[in-house]
Amino acid sequence: MPPARPLSLVTGASAGIGATFARALAARGHDLVLTARRRDRLETLAAELRQQHGCTVTTLAADLSDPGTPKALCEEVAQRGLVVDWLINNAGYGVPGNFTANDWHTHADSLQVLLTAPVELAWRLLPGMRERGYGRIVNVASLAGHVPGTAGHTLYAPAKAFLIKFSQGLALESRERGVHVCALCPGFTYSEFHDVTGTRALMNKLPGFMWQSAEAVVAEGIDAVERGEIVRVTGRVNRVIKSVFKLVPDRLAMKLAARQSRRYRTQGAA
């Protein structure tokens, strides 16, 4: 049985899908630990949630590109006497431009945030969930992890594909111990993501039906992980896209992906 007031740790909680997860979980009666780099935004969100829902909110400003951060976060949570029941691995960003157009440090930071940090947080928090017989882990992946890789954002889609496979294996290991793991795979979502990557002008060319609100994505994610669904592609349009790329031959799928990539990706200098 879940605790009366589950505690959720949400990474990348200062905006977008992360902040929306925090609001949705607070409305469901959760207490929260929120982490992101921007302390001021975390504090503003925490004050909002305390006032609206009467929940306990702990804010821990941290940079997940630092390899020591996941361990430090979990130690800080434990020192405060907090027990994490839900882990929302949401933090992430894309690095636009061709692979060699960015220095290695930029790529290494990105991989730390997208891959190593969520895996380590799960590794550190999962044993307690299994011992208590209850836990939920949502790894925010992407529709990009289901379709062929494309030029530009060279590491983003492969990283999300890894999160999907990781979630599948972890779910199968954990489901008999009361822990549900779900890879949440949104497509284009209204958030700050494309502002950060500098692709907002390109994204504005996409038709409206391609987009989902962060609220819709989060609602599907919470419902999916509660049901024990291991992989959830959000939105009917995105599920159709996934099915099409799964059914067509690889060579044709690559051509389709490359054509769309040229329209909506910034590839930068070689």
Residue 65, phi then psi, degrees to nearest 5: -75, -10
Largest CA-CA distance found in the chain, in angstroms, rounded? 54
- What DSSP string runs through 61-111? E--TTSTTHHHHHHHHHHHTT---SEEEE-------S-GGGS-HHHHHHHH
> Which of 92, 98, 38 shows the shortest CA–CA distance to 65?
92
Please write the tens of the pLDDT for every residue from 169-183: 999 999 999 999 999
pTM score? 0.89
Please write the tens of the pLDDT for every residue from 183-225: 999 998 876 554 454 444 554 555 565 669 999 999 999 999 9
**The CATH classification of domain 7-264, taken from the options 1.20.1250.20, 3.40.50.720, 3.90.180.10, 3.40.50.970:** 3.40.50.720
Where do the structural domains in the chain lie, given as residue ranges? 7-264
Q: Kindly name the residue from 134, 156, 190, 264 that is annotated as catalytic.
A: 156
Residue 57 · residue 34 · CB < 8 Å: yes
156 as an active site residue: the answer is yes
